[in-house]
Structure 1
């Protein structure tokens, strides 16, 4: 059977996501991001194209590493201003039936009790179509805005994340039994109190005593995404993730990373097929190769190189404002995103990137590779990426909104469907059922299943 390609639209509730400066393009509508109709129109387009979901990035701070101030980020609209991604979901869900919604949530700054309630609420409102992109944060500006002196150390953030996951699993999986809600009008009983259990947790980072407030949602635990590429991040993904988001400029970097991840998943006692891997990708398509190339050259005229280095500085924690364009990017380690500097240094020892080359590269599609061409050429390249790297699909960036996604839906999707590598219709059920063809809930050996009422000894510890 031909392996089916998975597709997400990669976006953010802001004006400038991964292609800094392109908001100035005359056909771009991303400045309308504060309008709900902007998002509902996009959701309809993606569902028409049978996309698996829209993957919404987020940051809780501002990119102020470049030059030591937020001025360049503000001037260029680099992921600021930015609004809450969660609040977009009910509106988009109301105009679609199948599209999934990936929400980035930074666990370092959010109490697990309130976060778990909001995710359960969204799972109810969408009929089980939500996923959570688990991030630990990387901006000092976010930590300071949340009342801390600086960002917690990289590895310590993942230690905190492990405990956070334990707490939310207890809430989602262990507080309410499946038949707790009776809705018995005759008996006057809405919920059977004997089947709702207090969650007790006293750990190094979190203390909690209380019941999960929402009744069980369709998926209980949302589909779990994770994008960490450091040693700690990959170990975390191997234990918890159902979908992993990878980002690198070449197949030579992505392929080994995917192989290593799948080995770690197996070592964690899970089946590697239980994890789908999505690579970030930029696609610029035209009716012909020449038309697509003209479109790329048009887009390049609007790139903000300063904005690109604002992103790179924020991702890496390195201030590139004083660097010459011909300086070679050097490897260093700090508490920002380890993979962000690795991908342009040690990940590919055969390639030495200069600061100017990095700015050019990031200017269109962020840190993703670029495929430019006719529908046939684009389909060829996407299939080659899957074949040669082992990824299961792609998170597609945009350059001009909504043009990028309309072009892909109208030109590339029919070509992929004709080749039999992309679905012609959605499978029924929740997002987890659509992606994996199994039931709506996580099952053993995933750690969430341990905390289900009646699932064994760990469960009894989870909800008393």
Structure 2
């Protein structure tokens, strides 16, 4: 008996990074993998064309500042296996990819702890202009002490304080993006010699606990003003932050039950914050291996496992939890406890009693995301099951072998999902935000950013 139709289109982002090894570590050694070309512009423009052909919603570009130096108390494995090192600036890639596409969105990761809000606001507005409203921002607060040391601090601030800082950062940005220019400020009248009406452009003053600045937003209003806001924190404090700010929340769930629990908690928090839960989309990380027959897909899986580096994956995971797994035997109990790293990951690890042996087995593909493997029908069944049972809206599809993972999805899985009505058959018009939510280019009135539209001659000034 055929399953009931899903009733909505699955959102899919290509999850990648401007580096050799991203999530599924060791795959750079596979003969068909091209990730070592990451310094080439053609690598990125070819990828963008492939993703647009596959009607991906966006390319989601991860990023870190710093290196993974917890495992073995150094970077030996990180460097040898290119575990997100070296890594380039993701924002620089967007213009080139946008130039060869018309619809593909771009979610770029930028850490609030390492970018001044005033200059960052201009960079994002510039990209929103150049892409005609296709830019999104993945808000991260950072967790690597190596990144803090690299910018002159001894260590990262405490977990909750990083989110307090991010709240302050966002408030300053909203004042710039939403309030410094009126929508009709630009006149562009050559005869009258009036480009912009001075009465409709105002300076912003922000005097927050972490950031203080005063100035005019340097970019005129872009299509979306504020980019689509992605966020990946699912700790208690991270959920409060997401409830206030996020439009798309990225979760890392080992199974559908964990995804469902996280999704329900996020939507409750959004409602408690006075927002409509339908104004938030929840995306889970997943890996896909597809081929025309199950045997061929299983053969690919065996190939990929042979190329993988479970130890490199463990080096990545060590930094995520702030635990040096190199110190433990295969079956030693591991004291996870409270850390200053990724609290949601530590909570899952502790609740399931992970040992080094269990983790290395989970890292057989070099990464720990759930895997859907098989024919297009089998993969489509698995993805639809995650949407139904996990109560999520879509996926960040990680690469295994590049670009094979994305071309296989575009050529094999997408047509099967389209026949079921579970995947779009063409891009809609409008900005990235409008295509995701169907409610226009700008943030909805219930979003906290609306409170930072102009209300005083000097926006943000005390009355």
TM more than 0.5: yes
Match of 1:424 in 2: 425
Matched, 1:244 2:249: yes
1:167-207 deviations in Å (ceiling 9; x for gaps): 00000001011111111101111111111111001121111
Match of 1:371 in 2: 372
In 2: Cα distance, 1:129 partner to 1:427 partner: 12
| SS of corresponding position for 2:316 | helix
1:188-241 deviations in Å (ceiling 9; x for gaps): 111111111110011211111100001111100000000001100011001100
In 2: Cα distance, 1:58 partner to 1:359 partner: 24
Cα distance, 1:422 vs structure 2: 0.4
Cα distance, 1:462 vs structure 2: 6.5
Task: Judge conservation of contact 1:450–1:458 (CA < 8 Å) in 2.
Answer: no
Cα distance, 1:57 vs structure 2: 0.3
Task: Judge conservation of contact 1:365–1:397 (CA < 8 Å) in 2.
Answer: no
Detail structure 1 runs of 4+ shifted over 6 Å in the superposition: none
1:237-286 deviations in Å (ceiling 9; x for gaps): 01100000000211121111111111111110011110000000011111
In 2: Cα distance, 1:463 partner to 1:7 partner: 44
The aligned runs of 1:67-78 (5 Å cut-off) are 67-78=72-83
Task: Judge conservation of contact 2:48–2:100 (CA < 8 Å) in 1.
Answer: yes
| SS of corresponding position for 1:229 | coil
Cα distance, 1:458 vs structure 2: 12
**Worse-superposed segment, 359-368 or 46-55:** 359-368
| SS of corresponding position for 1:54 | strand
Cα distance, 1:329 vs structure 2: 4.2
Match of 2:268 in 1: 263
Task: Judge conservation of contact 2:310–2:367 (CA < 8 Å) in 1.
Answer: no
Match of 1:99 in 2: 104
Is the alpha carbon distance of 1:198 and 1:36 closer, same or farther for their aligned partners in structure 2, counting shifts above 3 Å?
Answer: same
Cα distance, 1:364 vs structure 2: 2.4
Cα distance, 1:331 vs structure 2: 2.7
Is the alpha carbon distance of 1:63 and 1:99 closer, same or farther for their aligned partners in structure 2, counting shifts above 3 Å?
Answer: same
In 2: Cα distance, 1:269 partner to 1:366 partner: 37
Cα distance, 1:457 vs structure 2: 7.7
Unpaired runs of 5+ in structure 2?
1-5
The aligned runs of 1:180-259 (5 Å cut-off) are 180-259=185-264
Task: Judge conservation of contact 1:317–1:335 (CA < 8 Å) in 2.
Answer: yes
Cα distance, 1:461 vs structure 2: 3.2
Task: Judge conservation of contact 2:310–2:365 (CA < 8 Å) in 1.
Answer: no
The aligned runs of 1:10-21 (5 Å cut-off) are 10-21=15-26
Matched, 1:461 2:463: no
Cα distance, 1:443 vs structure 2: 2.2
Matched, 1:30 2:21: no
> Which of 133, 138, 153 is the matching residue for 1:133?
138
In 2: Cα distance, 1:32 partner to 1:463 partner: 52
| SS of corresponding position for 2:460 | helix
Match of 2:90 in 1: 85
| SS of corresponding position for 1:461 | coil
Q: How many residues align?
A: 458
Task: Judge conservation of contact 2:249–2:283 (CA < 8 Å) in 1.
Answer: yes
> Which of 301, 306, 312 is the matching residue for 1:301?
306
1:303-337 deviations in Å (ceiling 9; x for gaps): 11220111011111111112222234443111111
> Which of 328, 353, 356 is the matching residue for 1:323?
328
Matched, 1:314 2:315: no
In 2: Cα distance, 1:395 partner to 1:303 partner: 20
| SS of corresponding position for 2:327 | coil
Task: Judge conservation of contact 1:123–1:130 (CA < 8 Å) in 2.
Answer: yes
1:132-163 deviations in Å (ceiling 9; x for gaps): 00000010000000110111110000010110
Match of 2:3 in 1: none
Task: Judge conservation of contact 1:281–1:365 (CA < 8 Å) in 2.
Answer: no
Task: Judge conservation of contact 2:257–2:389 (CA < 8 Å) in 1.
Answer: no
Task: Judge conservation of contact 2:132–2:431 (CA < 8 Å) in 1.
Answer: yes
**Worse-superposed segment, 25-34 or 182-191:** 182-191
In 1: Cα distance, 2:212 partner to 2:306 partner: 53
**Worse-superposed segment, 219-228 or 304-313:** 304-313
Task: Judge conservation of contact 2:13–2:397 (CA < 8 Å) in 1.
Answer: yes
Match of 1:435 in 2: 436
Match of 1:354 in 2: 355
In 1: Cα distance, 2:219 partner to 2:459 partner: 20
**Worse-superposed segment, 167-176 or 184-193:** 184-193
Unpaired runs of 5+ in structure 1?
none
Is the alpha carbon distance of 1:9 and 1:458 closer, same or farther for their aligned partners in structure 2, counting shifts above 3 Å?
Answer: farther
Structure 1 vs Structure 2 CA RMSD: 1.6
TM-score scaled by structure 1? 0.96
TM-score scaled by structure 2? 0.96
Is the alpha carbon distance of 1:248 and 1:308 closer, same or farther for their aligned partners in structure 2, counting shifts above 3 Å?
Answer: same
